Amino acid sequence: ADVLLFTSLNEVTPMVIAESMMRAIPVISTNIAGIPEMLEHGKHGYVLPPEEEAFIGALQELCVPGNDGQRKRLQMGLAAKKHADETFTNMSMVANYRRGLLEMSPPVVLLDMDGVVVDWDRGFVKAWGSTSPIDRSKSYAMQECVPEELRERATALFHRKGFFAELPPAVGAVETVR
């Protein structure tokens, strides 16, 4: 396809727009709901009021026969692809969410009462070895993250003398505290 013509009046953020942009296809669409946030009018395609005349004008501009029309479609298509790669891929979405979360709530390094910064999880995993799998998604409490029949053993491990002295420093924490 040379152009995506999307005239829907009842969409929020249609995937077909992102998919077309990922394939370097310029978009002509209505300006309803979240569509104007998906692409920049005049750069990645056209975001128009849902009126026939607006669509006719955009089609006439993008579908000019010959080199001029092809050049315009390629230029918009490449800009659309670049924008889609930066906006709609899983990797870019995760990076954008992460960036937003870090802006709203930057990491905080917590010190215990002795001013010690350790990686408790990494230390426990090393001490636990291959005793059993540890499913950290189950609970904040480490003993809840091992099979039920091994919970007492896990509790005994981190209660044993010297356990906390053997915990490794958290990566980057010492530098952060300085």
Q: What is the pLDDT of residue 113?
A: 56
Are 39 and 27 a contacting pair, CB within 8 Å? yes
Cα separation of 67 and 47, whole Å? 24
Tens-digit pLDDT profile for residues 59-99: 998 888 899 989 999 999 999 999 999 999 999 999 999 99
Q: What is the pLDDT of residue 151?
A: 94
Residue 115 domain-assigned?
A: no
Q: Which of 5-19, 82-96, 113-127, 151-165 has the lowest mean pLDDT?
A: 113-127
Tens-digit pLDDT profile for residues 136-158: 888 888 899 999 999 999 999 98
Query: Within this chain, do residues 96 and 140 fall inside the same structural domain, yes or no?
Result: no
Q: What angle do CA 167, 169, 170 make, to 5 degrees?
A: 115
Q: What is the pLDDT of residue 25?
A: 97
Query: Within this chain, do residues 15 and 82 fall inside the same structural domain, yes or no?
Result: yes
Tens-digit pLDDT profile for residues 17-50: 999 999 999 999 999 999 999 999 999 999 999 9
Domain that holds residue 136: 120-177
Q: What is the pLDDT of residue 4?
A: 95
Query: Within this chain, do residues 12 and 54 fall inside the same structural domain, yes or no?
Result: yes
Query: Within this chain, do residues 96 and 145 fall inside the same structural domain, yes or no?
Result: no
Cα separation of 157 and 163, whole Å? 7
Query: Within this chain, do residues 25 and 88 fall inside the same structural domain, yes or no?
Result: yes
Residue 110 domain-assigned?
A: no
Query: Within this chain, do residues 12 and 98 fall inside the same structural domain, yes or no?
Result: yes
Global confidence as pTM: 0.58
Choose among 77, 70, 59, 74: nearest CA to 23: 77
